[in-house]
Amino acid sequence: MIKKCLFPAAGYGTRFLPATKAMPKEMLPILTKPLIQYGVEEALSAGIDTMAIVTGRGKRAIEDHFDISYELEHQIKDTSKEPYLNEIRDLIDKCTFSYTRQIEMKGLGHAILSGETLIGNNPFAVILADDLCDNIDGESVLSQMIKVYQKYQCSIVAIEEIDKSNSDKYGIIVGNEIEDGLYIIKDMIEKPKPKDAPSNLAIIGRYILTPDIFGIIKQTKAGRGGEIQITDALLTQAKKGIVLAYKFKGKRFDCGSVDGFVKATNYFYKRER
Ligand code: G1P
């Protein structure tokens, strides 16, 4: 059903400079694993084995990470360090990875459109790797969303309640609740000022999108920040048909900010030790 997951990964990661000067922000590690690997693991846990990664200049490390390093394999073979490679070997074994480059940085909508060539005419998932999610009841956010998709067969965004003072960091939705925590979107706005925010329901970096979104993005004009916003394209789709917002169960860290990154590090450290 949903076989592919798109990872927009072309951004500069300016909030982490100088760390991200020569290293992709998606490769920043929480403990010993890069952020994007958590994302790929989440996709795989939801039954998706085809990863479509939209990269940009300076992102080669992502491709190398999801590939065999023969020199390292040779050095580490039959030593006590070999188990450190087990998780990534397993992922490389089970998944396929394809890449395309976003040539110009024109926003998240544009990044998703750049992935059209890898996705084709099928519904697909999107993970923004800097939103790191941990499942509490054993079911990842994407798995939960795929269940919703199986029932409704339309685009879905994951949402969580935020403090309204942070509304200018997120897409904000307004909807009619049709099931516990599931809303039909009536309106959505990208990064409104707190006084203009129509609700406290914020979009987080997990989406399921039907492929007609590509045609809609092509027609979508630049919005907030002069960028082509997926939020604006989804609003058009919502007006034409149905787009759902799903309040996920679990924990999410904004690893695109230093503060969230430190919180995630402490949380995973406590959990693993
Ligand atoms: C993007 C989206 C925004 C969403 C957010 C979730 O913004 O444009 O609607 O709420 O991801 O992390 P970004 O964080 O890339 O600026």
Distance 169 CA to ligand 1 centre (A): 7
The total number of residues shown for the chain amounts to: 273
Mean pLDDT of 198-222: 97
Distance 198 CA to ligand 1 centre (A): 17
Q: pLDDT-based confidence at 37, cuts 50/70/90? A: very high
Global confidence as pTM: 0.96
Q: pLDDT-based confidence at 258, cuts 50/70/90? A: very high
The CATH number for 125's domain is: 3.90.550.10
Q: What is the mean pLDDT of the chain?
A: 95
Got the DSSP string for 172-207?
EEEEEEEETTEEEEEEEEES--GGG-S-SEEEEEEE
Distance 200 CA to ligand 1 centre (A): 15
pLDDT at position 138: 83
Cα separation, 15 vs 28, whole angstroms? 12
pLDDT at position 58: 85
Of 191, 196, 178, nearest to 245 by C-alpha is: 178
Domain around 148: 4-272
Q: Which residues line ligand 1 (CB under 6 A)?
A: 108, 128, 131, 170-171, 190, 202-205, 229, 231, 256
Cα separation, 86 vs 177, whole angstroms? 43
Cα separation, 217 vs 111, whole angstroms? 10
Of all atoms in ligand 1, which is nearest to the CA of residue 229?
Answer: 8
Give percent of the chain above pLDDT 90: 89
| pLDDT tens, position by position, 142-201 | 999 999 999 999 999 999 999 999 999 999 999 999 999 999 999 999 999 999 999 999
pLDDT at position 126: 98
Of all atoms in ligand 1, which is nearest to the CA of residue 231?
Answer: 9
With vertex at residue 60, the alpha carbon angle to CA 44 and CA 204, rounded to the nearest 5 degrees, is: 45
Helix (H, G, I), strand (E, B) or coil at 255: coil
Residue 136 has pLDDT above 80, yes or no: no
What's the structural domain count of the chain?
Answer: 1
